[in-house]
Structure 1
């Protein structure tokens, strides 16, 4: 029977790399960010509601959502961000729960890994067979984020501090993966974990 595991980790913890390694080793992988994009495609209820709330100025010329324009509105005003989350949050959750339910119905003995950055914050853990959290040394996380997003130390620390800590996620998770070292070490960690899943 199909098993479904929730994967999470802090910003710049290597979630995409970890997901790719699981996929390379025969797991089916899913990404909550893709779901977030799906619920606002042209013609969707999500995009209609967002346009109603924020006007047609947030659309590109082809009718798709202009994320940069919307970002400028919502990230400078908490109330606007709450309005956006109120629209998309429920749609994303509904879609994620439907996907998990469909995975669990699959009679094949498949391991499904569903990456959700806000897994614990969104209280998704009870829907999974178990949860996995990626952990790395906080100094390495800071350096990776600064390099990846071209941020200074102050801005990078602010981004990290705005999220649930990796220590907290690791305590809440059933399993953890250490991504403090190189890719070879990470692959070894994941292969050892797969034997337990």
Structure 2
């Protein structure tokens, strides 16, 4: 079974995916894939530099994430351009890894962690979509604390994604990660049991 795992920035997707892995799920991590296509020598990074300029490339050839982030979090059109460059390659690799896992481990649960799952309209790939949820005020607080950024910058990032309440409404399953780690664990245990009933 393939399930999509999503949420908003700073809602705790990694926490939930780690719990599912410990239970025996296999993980396809879209963020990791997104980082891999931005490594020096990859054609996607070359295309990004071609559009955004050499300013987004550091002297060592690595992507200057901070510089690119400043551009795309403040200009929705540039964010769309970046998505148009990166998403096809990321989707292709997600599908490849899913197919590989399904073939090698047909009895295992495959969890695909995609932060922008709904924004990218990828829900059709999955039997179920799980949303890791925290209320927006808590999300903002966690993001500011985690990344050491101002409220203004944190809001710009939150506003670049679909609202967490909307994702919650679209979900097949919701894990509310606003309580304790133990409470989240309990919800993951119950979800696991439901998936394998």
TM-score normalised per structure 2? 0.85
Q: Which residue of 2 aligns with 1:190?
A: 188
Deviations 1:8-28 (A, max 9, x none): 112221111111111122211
Deviations 1:100-146 (A, max 9, x none): 33333334311111111111111111111211011223333333233
Distance 1:53 1:154, change over 3 A: closer
Q: 1:42 aligns with which of 25, 29, 40?
A: 40
Q: 1:168 aligns with which of 135, 153, 166?
A: 166
Shifted more, 48-57 versus 74-83: the winner is 74-83
Distance 1:140 1:74, change over 3 A: closer
What is the alpha-carbon distance in structure 1 between the residues aligned to residue 46 and residue 167 of structure 2?
35
1:109 is aligned to 2:107: yes
The answer as to whether partners of 2:11 and 2:177 remain within 8 angstroms in 1 is: yes
Q: 1:95 aligns with which of 83, 90, 93?
A: 93
Q: Which residue of 2 aligns with 1:122?
A: 120
Shifted more, 81-90 versus 144-153: the winner is 144-153
Distance 1:148 1:129, change over 3 A: same
Deviations 1:162-196 (A, max 9, x none): 43222221221111111121001111110110011
Distance 1:80 1:168, change over 3 A: closer
Shifted more, 62-71 versus 10-19: the winner is 62-71
Shifted more, 40-49 versus 102-111: the winner is 102-111
Deviations 1:32-70 (A, max 9, x none): 111111112122111221232234343223222222233
Which structure 2 segments of 5+ residues have no match?
A: none
TM-score normalised per structure 1? 0.85
Deviation at 1:158, TM superposition (A): 4.8
Secondary structure of residue in 2 paired with 1:95:
helix
